Structure 1
Amino acid sequence: MALHWKLVIDSGDAPALADFWAAALGYEVEDPSPLVTRLLAAGQLGEEAVTEHHGRTTFRGYAAIRHPDDPFDEASGVGAGRRLLFQKVPEEKSGKNRLHIDIHSEPGGLDRLVERLKSLGATPVREVDQGPAGHWWVMRDPEGNEFCAA
């Protein structure tokens, strides 16, 4: 039986990093405000556990994005498919990522993709040339997490 999963990414500013990755991938930022509102009203969540981001009430220190074509629970806003969850952690990133995201451009569109990612706040690190097999860019998101644009 296949299992459901999500990729969780530690972050210094979860909502800002979710915004970057949503724009980079064409994903949607999840809106958990209906769930947060219900939990607050039921006394199951305190005011200190929530914040507002882009006019939505959300969980403090967390933000998630989902593929726009995948199903999601309308009552909670939580995606049931391809999903990234960003969580605030106290420590800063140290060392190289052991897991990273590859973003694939349309054929012949790598330069446009790299420029768009740079405009969103990504930083190019180096271009990797594979000769006849092509090339790609190693880049960093706004918090320094490595990813590849190919």
Structure 2
Amino acid sequence: MTKTPSAPEAAPTAAPVHWKVVVDSADPHTQADFWGAALHYAVEDNSALIERLLELGALPGAATVEFHGRLAFRDMVAVRHPDDPYDPDSGTGLGRRLLFQRVTEPKTVKNRLHLDLHPGAGLREGEVGRLTALGASVLREVKEPSGAWVVMADPEGNEFCVH
């Protein structure tokens, strides 16, 4: 009996990998306020999780601060897209997020990764003004054959672009 070659089995389809962008910062709460306002994102409320961890003795009180009238982690806080799902038990976003974590070393060189903001056609100048009022600064305006944008820095000096 001759064995007929069979078609190779298809590899199982893997689920997409969940991700978040983590930004090192000297003051994560100030950064979360800036980026939450800049992106119209919600600052995550992890207070229920923090209270449970404190009650269990799994988190020392020194690891928390009061932020916007509720308990928050002292060294990290995230902002999330307001329309994305989140875990109601922990307050943690399950979609588009930026997490700001406290680090002791200062920023010293240009970012290797940055955000590009796209407010929409004809809205760049107004958006740059709004972001400047929130605490950002303009580093330079770029006009090239491929397009125009404004390079800005957030309150801790992290570069981003407004197209």
Q: 1:110 & 1:134 partners in 2: Cα distance?
A: 12
Alignment of 1:42-121 (within 5 A): 42-121=56-135
Q: 1:25 & 1:149 partners in 2: Cα distance?
A: 12
- Tell me which residue corresponds to 1:142: 155
Unpaired segments ≥5 residues, structure 1: none
Tell me which of 30, 34, 39 is aligned to 2:48: 34
The amino acid of 1:40's aligned partner reads L
CA distances 1:35-77 after superposition (whole Å, capped 9, x unpaired): 0000001111111111111101011111100000100000100
Say which SS state the counterpart of residue 131 (structure 2) adopts: helix
CA distances 1:107-134 after superposition (whole Å, capped 9, x unpaired): 1101000000000000001001024x43
- Tell me which residue corresponds to 2:37: 23
Query: Aligned-pair RMSD on alpha carbons?
Result: 0.8
Q: How many residues align?
A: 149
Q: 1:146 & 1:45 partners in 2: Cα distance?
A: 34
Q: Which structure: larger Rg?
A: 2
The amino acid of 2:150's aligned partner reads W
User: Structure 1 vs Structure 2: percent identity of aligned residues?
Assistant: 55
Q: 2:160 & 2:120 partners in 1: Cα distance?
A: 17
TM-score by length of 2: 0.90
Q: 2:86 & 2:113 partners in 1: Cα distance?
A: 25
